[in-house]
Structure 1
Amino acid sequence: MDQSQSGTNGIGQRLRELRQKRGLNQQDLASADISVSYVSLIETGKRVPSEAVLKALAERVGCTVDYLRTGRDDVRVKELELKVAFGDMALRNGANGEALQSYSEALANAPLLGEAMVRRARLGQALAFEKLGRLEAAIQLFNVLYDDPETIPGSAEWAQLAVALCRAYRDSGDQVMSIEVGERAMKQLDRLGLDVTDDHIQLGSTLMGCYYHRGDLTQAQLLSNRLTQIAEEKGSRVARGSVYWNAALVAASKGDLKESLALAERALVLMAETDNVRHIGLLKSNCAAYMLELDGSDLERAEGLLEEAQEAMLEVGTAAEQSNVETSRARLALRQGDPEAAMERASRALGLLRNEARWESAATRVVLAQAQFERGDSTGGAQTLRAVERQLGQIPVNRNTALVWRQAGDVWQLYGHPAEALTMYQHAMSGVGLVPLKGAARVAAPLS
């Protein structure tokens, strides 16, 4: 600010900036009571206008009196705060694009907002990026907030950011960083010796899920045992539900599908009284998926759960989550002996994923291939499984890709192609770190 403006708190400077921004000259601000020379004196900081003059000038340049006097426009600030609130609401309702736009518009005027509101908008923007699949942008913003000196370790905000970083790194395929962030945060909590809160339980639950995705089932089970006891003693229904949810994933990966279904159903009961439509929908989808893997399951109940899950995902779910429900419905159609419906749903699931080279779409193609074989289209089924092989070859090896290799091998084996099945099984074993024995291919005769 110019020295000449210091005694008038910058009123003249703001008046001049607004006048020029609107393409007005000093004559345009003059009136019977306000001369052009008086406008000039105000703009150069040589006169302090009265309240009546301030009001008249504010009307001419299109701002509030408060803005001319202080530089702060409470009406504009309120509008920006409403944009942040709208972003929060849109994010809860699954309108992620609208949420991102609202947060970004508010942040474009960050100097007008208080520090707390700016942080809230930045967190919302990062969450919107995450839900839209723009994980690199989300991770960058989460890290900025997490490393900010204003973020106090052990606080609810700190725990939320740690959970978000774990989740975003995990979903981006960087299992090493997801677990590193989670373990470091858990150690920090242990050192701080704070009372356990739901946020802390959620952090541990997310880390459990990261162990699961990396295939470290021993660590996942150990953490599950610890968290289950803590959650039962100190956690809310939501916190306990989160622990049981991830514990179900661990049990399923160990082949205990009855236990995984029981844990997922317990999580669903705990979550059912919340207003988180997305989480309830995801849990219903998981319960149905476990049912489809168990012999003698109630297929009608599985179908009902999937219908409810699909309704929720259409409202608040991401494209990948909607695709996952369609894939489960394709599996259900196969169990019901309707390969035509299975093909239709699997194709719809692939359309939602836009044929991206990711393990979820490869898994869906395996279901599509099985439906094609069931329908009698062996050529189409074989072509689809070869597409799965090409696709998996473009994706970093992890436990999820190993599972899809195994499923593809099972379909080849089921329809009479043992050589192709063996190739898929070998890829599956390599995916979980089991490398072939050197020289095994040179064995020429069976053992006697």
Structure 2
Amino acid sequence: MIELGHNIRRRRKELGLTQSQLAEGIISIPYLSLIENGKALPRPDVLLPLAERLQTSVESLMGVTDENTMEQVQSLIEKARSALIYEANGFEQAHQYVDTLRKLVESVSDPHILMKVDLLEINLYEHKFDIERYTQLMNAFEEKWENFRNDPDIFVQYLRIKGNMEFHMARYERAMWHYKAAEKRLAEVTDEIEKGYIYGNLGKTYLLLANPSLGILYAEKAMQIMSSHDRWLEMCHLLQLIGSCYCYNGEYEEALQYFERILRMCDQFLVSSLLISRAYHEIGICHMKLGNTEKAIEFLNQSLEVVEPGELPDWEIGVVHQSLCQTYLKRGDLVRAKKHIITALELLQDRKNFLAECYIYLGKIAYAENNPETFVTYYMRAIEIFEELDIGEKIARATHTLGRYFLEQGEYQRGAQLLLKASQHYGQLIPTVDFDVDLPTPKKMAQQKSG
């Protein structure tokens, strides 16, 4: 920023312009003064007209003279970003690109580029779910670049990464806050792919907050962008999201069409087997919900077989075993169900949301084995984690099941307390249509409070 301000001031004086003449019709004089003194970073839509009035280029003002270097930087940023999405060893591959970038940008003084490289490195550790390293780098970024919020492209990317980490930690309301804040700035963003990422992440979060209709809406907005830029593999991810939304709504046949479409696209492009694995997993879930347990088991096992050892993250393997447990439970095969959920439990220790779901399935198995005390223990443990993560829908479902059980056992007070908690959380999920569930304050009480 300091070099940029120095270059603007030097060029203005070379042309004999006053601050007032340079700023007229572009920005305020006080803001120009902040820029020239290195205390503010102008947005691209401000910097371009300033450069034109100064009869020079943005690159020259930024201190960038080597166009070849800039092209290499942009290419490496794109390769690193793509590696995180497509490659089985995405973190290692992207890290190599970042290391190369660090050496390359030693000759670059453009703060926009330098901030993008810093955020890209933070993105690596968010992707790896390395909370400690992510936090260190994010704190350093916020301290180093005091005015990064003035650059919409940078600020939106920053908000997306912050939201992603909250998403990984199953704090979906907090993730939504970051994504919605980013959405408000999208009109100022020049990176169309970044817009697509924000819309896609909003879609995923709405699905997990029990609003699949908005999940589909945002996924389709993201698909329009990715399609216009020939980003076919991102489109596969979005098709999976839309299919998951239909699956959530119980429209399993419709969902199958989207997952099968992914497999057809995978046949046309050289893609990571991760996409095929995830499509098989979702197809297996649809067949399980439709009662086709044999097909479900076949596709769920295929989802593990199509990938090489170590290619699928441990937590995803755990989720597949969780789905296999659910399928065997539907068949009444408690031995196989227990085998798969114990495997899932071992693989999901650092994913609290899925870990709590494992306790739910262990509780179901215990109930089927006529072990009520263990059933209650597992359900209570799951509810505690869901409450810690503030996942309303899962709190509602688990307390509903347990509350109904206690009523059947004649423990009416305990059952009623749990059912009340369930109804409160269900009420948060269902939008008001005709009338609210809350009653107005009675007149006398309102007068007493005001007195």
TM-score band by shorter chain is 0.5 to 0.7
Q: Say whether residues 1:205 and 2:200 are aligned partners.
A: yes
CA distance in 2, matches of 1:397, 1:131: 22
- Residue 237 of structure 1 deviates from its aligned partner by 2.7
Shift in CA distance, 147/141, structure 1 to aligned 2, threshold 3 Å: farther
Give the secondary-structure state (helix, strand or coil) at the position aligned to 1:317: coil
The 8 Å contact of residues 268 and 283 in structure 1, kept in 2 or not, is answered as yes
Structure whose alpha-carbon radius of gyration is higher: 1
- Residue 408 of structure 1 deviates from its aligned partner by 4.6
Give the secondary-structure state (helix, strand or coil) at the position aligned to 1:316: coil
- Residue 173 of structure 1 deviates from its aligned partner by 4.1
Q: Say whether residues 1:214 and 2:214 are aligned partners.
A: no
Equivalent position of 1:405 in the other structure = 398
The 8 Å contact of residues 126 and 141 in structure 1, kept in 2 or not, is answered as yes
Q: Say whether residues 1:366 and 2:382 are aligned partners.
A: no
Post-superposition Cα deviations, 1:200-257, rounded to whole Å, max 9, x if no partner, equal: 3333111111222334445434434545566666654324323322223333333433
Q: In structure 2, give the amino acid aligned to 1:397.
A: D
Q: Say whether residues 1:291 and 2:284 are aligned partners.
A: no
Shift in CA distance, 130/417, structure 1 to aligned 2, threshold 3 Å: farther
Alignment equivalent of 1:304, drawn from 291, 298, 302: 298
Q: In structure 2, give the amino acid aligned to 1:334.
A: L
Equivalent position of 1:396 in the other structure = 389
CA distance in 2, matches of 1:302, 1:227: 30
- Residue 341 of structure 1 deviates from its aligned partner by 1.2
Equivalent position of 1:167 in the other structure = 164
| TM-score, length basis structure 2 | 0.59
Alignment of 1:71-90 (within 5 A): none
The 8 Å contact of residues 346 and 364 in structure 1, kept in 2 or not, is answered as yes
Post-superposition Cα deviations, 1:150-193, rounded to whole Å, max 9, x if no partner, equal: 99755xx887666444322322344444334333444433356x
The 8 Å contact of residues 357 and 391 in structure 1, kept in 2 or not, is answered as no
Name which of structure 1's ranges 402-411 and 160-169 shifts more when overlaid on structure 2.
Answer: 402-411
Point out where structure 1 has 5 or more consecutive residues left out of the alignment.
Answer: 1-81, 439-448
Alignment of 1:111-150 (within 5 A): 122=118, 125-135=121-131, 137-138=133-134, 141=137, 144=141
Q: In structure 2, give the amino acid aligned to 1:257.
A: Y
- Residue 343 of structure 1 deviates from its aligned partner by 0.7
Shift in CA distance, 421/261, structure 1 to aligned 2, threshold 3 Å: farther
Shift in CA distance, 114/216, structure 1 to aligned 2, threshold 3 Å: farther
- Residue 361 of structure 1 deviates from its aligned partner by 1.2
Shift in CA distance, 357/161, structure 1 to aligned 2, threshold 3 Å: closer
Equivalent position of 1:331 in the other structure = 326
- Residue 425 of structure 1 deviates from its aligned partner by 4.6
Equivalent position of 2:247 in the other structure = 252
CA distance in 2, matches of 1:122, 1:315: 28
The 8 Å contact of residues 80 and 98 in structure 2, kept in 1 or not, is answered as no
Shift in CA distance, 99/225, structure 1 to aligned 2, threshold 3 Å: closer
CA distance in 2, matches of 1:387, 1:431: 18
Q: Say whether residues 1:320 and 2:320 are aligned partners.
A: no
Q: In structure 1, give the amino acid aligned to 2:167.
A: R
Q: In structure 1, give the amino acid aligned to 2:296.
A: A
How many pairs were matched up? 346
Name which of structure 1's ranges 217-226 and 321-330 shifts more when overlaid on structure 2.
Answer: 217-226
CA distance in 1, matches of 2:230, 2:203: 16
Post-superposition Cα deviations, 1:302-357, rounded to whole Å, max 9, x if no partner, equal: 22322232343852333322211110111122233321111111111111223x68
Q: Say whether residues 1:282 and 2:275 are aligned partners.
A: no
Equivalent position of 2:41 in the other structure = none
Q: In structure 2, give the amino acid aligned to 1:181.
A: H
- Residue 434 of structure 1 deviates from its aligned partner by 4.5
Alignment equivalent of 2:238, drawn from 239, 243, 265: 243
Q: In structure 2, give the amino acid aligned to 1:130.
A: E
The 8 Å contact of residues 224 and 247 in structure 1, kept in 2 or not, is answered as yes
Shift in CA distance, 257/239, structure 1 to aligned 2, threshold 3 Å: same
Q: In structure 2, give the amino acid aligned to 1:265.
A: E
Shift in CA distance, 102/404, structure 1 to aligned 2, threshold 3 Å: farther
CA distance in 2, matches of 1:210, 1:271: 25
Alignment equivalent of 2:175, drawn from 178, 184, 187: 178
Q: In structure 1, give the amino acid aligned to 2:422.
A: A
Give the secondary-structure state (helix, strand or coil) at the position aligned to 2:389: coil
Alignment equivalent of 1:380, drawn from 374, 377, 388: 374
The 8 Å contact of residues 166 and 177 in structure 1, kept in 2 or not, is answered as yes
Aligned residues: percent identity? 14
Give the secondary-structure state (helix, strand or coil) at the position aligned to 2:129: coil
Give the secondary-structure state (helix, strand or coil) at the position aligned to 1:431: helix
The 8 Å contact of residues 88 and 99 in structure 1, kept in 2 or not, is answered as no
Which structure has the higher relative contact order (CA within 8 Å, separation 6+)?
A: 2
- Residue 392 of structure 1 deviates from its aligned partner by 3.5
CA distance in 1, matches of 2:231, 2:167: 25
The 8 Å contact of residues 359 and 400 in structure 1, kept in 2 or not, is answered as no
| TM-score, length basis structure 1 | 0.59
Name which of structure 1's ranges 406-415 and 384-393 shifts more when overlaid on structure 2.
Answer: 406-415
The 8 Å contact of residues 221 and 247 in structure 1, kept in 2 or not, is answered as yes
Shift in CA distance, 201/101, structure 1 to aligned 2, threshold 3 Å: closer
CA distance in 2, matches of 1:252, 1:306: 16
The 8 Å contact of residues 339 and 372 in structure 1, kept in 2 or not, is answered as no
The 8 Å contact of residues 202 and 242 in structure 1, kept in 2 or not, is answered as no
Shift in CA distance, 239/199, structure 1 to aligned 2, threshold 3 Å: farther
Alignment of 1:40-79 (within 5 A): none
